[in-house]
Structure 1
């Protein structure tokens, strides 16, 4: 049996502890049944929680996969240590969705909302890539088959779907804009205000309601200090990356460069 209590003793957040316990349940299934098992899709923060814990379990190996090399949301595939990763068939598939929509006319939220509207849980869906007149979804085989047979519309556009291979996918380059400015500090509320054009007066409540994450971890403290390379996501508004932190100006403000995904 896996010592769940010992492996999760250092985790204080209750939701994180529950999540890790579920992953460890599947790890126990691997060791008991001598067969591979995988998690649902996890964000990078959840993956970072799992890595050091799974690495401590004897007779267990694992790898992470999102179907594509640049995937953000990934699954953890666990298997007995006498097996090799290339012996394991990937449970992931790719679905292409075609419609008479122009690039930027539909959003990631539009696609995800339509898919979840079919009764599918968020953790069953991996990355979504939007291209001109089509988009791609990464998910499990049974989920892709279900979407393929049931998705008829995204927003007000009628769509057609089909299962495709990795070789069929053409991923568009992400669009972003650079924001070069000065800030009084690297507080979270300051960076969110500058990056998303929000008033600092309204941000404290939003940050306190789990709407803002730093490196995919919810942060409820407006005074939390961010660092170069941190990814800040704001629910419903998108994501920014603190690319550079420069020297202070004569007015004692910090020069920063922020990348905002659009």
Structure 2
């Protein structure tokens, strides 16, 4: 059965598949309830797929607000109501009175948090807002971060723990690009978006540093479609906003949104 399930996933995902299977099986056979740390969208998809295979188990997935990217899950026997279960998420507000936040970005906050020895899966979405950021964190890590996070990229900061209803969301701005491409092949579009040669794009793709919709993708010829989110480690990520049609010369017009 395990080998049959593995056939649906990339070898890089087997470790998580094993963990998720254990959660599901314990909920079914031992009536155990499991609250996970934060999952990325691909992990949430894998977990949901495995839960749906077992009629005796269900789950709730929540990241603290409706459009959350990273979410926690509760897996439980199907007779247990999950709507009122505590997802264990707090809002860590980070602020400074010296006006230097204009230069701080998502990666600066993440780097400061991980620099305290915090695991990535204890951190949900980070929203960079005017005067600081609101970061969704696991409640069991919230007090530690509140007490120890005092500096972000050489800027001294203050922190405060807030309830979820005080969360402020970032206004996500995508830098739009209009491309004319010969095909929807991933390597060609990635090359154009990040202004790299095809040769230089192939190296990170084949080294496992590219993900499409959070799934590892090592095939340079994979065709992209509207709505796909592509990330290339070390370069950033983008979304295929719209495939606008074909030119008279047979090229495809594509609208891309690069994340800041």
Runs of 5+ consecutive residues of structure 2 not aligned to the other structure: none
SS at 2:137 equivalent: strand
- Whole-Å separation in 2 of the counterparts to 1:90 and 1:147: 18
Identify the residue that residue 77 of structure 1 maps to in structure 2. Answer: 74
The aligned runs of 1:189-228 (5 Å cut-off) are 189-228=187-226
- Whole-Å separation in 1 of the counterparts to 2:197 and 2:142: 41
Cα root mean square deviation, aligned = 1.9
- Whole-Å separation in 1 of the counterparts to 2:4 and 2:143: 37
Identify the residue that residue 148 of structure 1 maps to in structure 2. Answer: 146
Asked if residue 95 in structure 1 is aligned to residue 92 in structure 2, the reply is yes
- Whole-Å separation in 1 of the counterparts to 2:60 and 2:112: 30
Runs of 5+ consecutive residues of structure 1 not aligned to the other structure: none
**TM-score (structure 2 length as normaliser):** 0.92
The aligned runs of 1:127-146 (5 Å cut-off) are 127-146=125-144
Residue among 14, 19, 22 paired with 1:25 = 22
Deviations 1:63-116 (A, max 9, x none): 111111111011221122222122312211111111235555111111111111
Q: Is the CA contact 2:204–2:232 (under 8 Å) kept in the aligned structure 1?
A: no
Change (3 A) 1:194 1:145: same
Q: Is the CA contact 1:101–1:132 (under 8 Å) kept in the aligned structure 2?
A: no
- Whole-Å separation in 2 of the counterparts to 1:87 and 1:7: 35
- Whole-Å separation in 1 of the counterparts to 2:95 and 2:152: 10
Deviations 1:100-150 (A, max 9, x none): 355551111111111111111112211111111111111211111110111
- Whole-Å separation in 2 of the counterparts to 1:20 and 1:209: 22
SS at 2:240 equivalent: strand
Q: Is the CA contact 1:190–1:200 (under 8 Å) kept in the aligned structure 2?
A: yes
Identify the residue that residue 48 of structure 1 maps to in structure 2. Answer: 45
**TM-score (structure 1 length as normaliser):** 0.91
1:32 positional shift: 5.1
Deviations 1:173-207 (A, max 9, x none): 10112111211111111111222232323111121
1:238 positional shift: 2.3
- Whole-Å separation in 2 of the counterparts to 1:69 and 1:101: 31
- Whole-Å separation in 2 of the counterparts to 1:252 and 1:89: 54
- More deviation, 113-122/206-215: 206-215
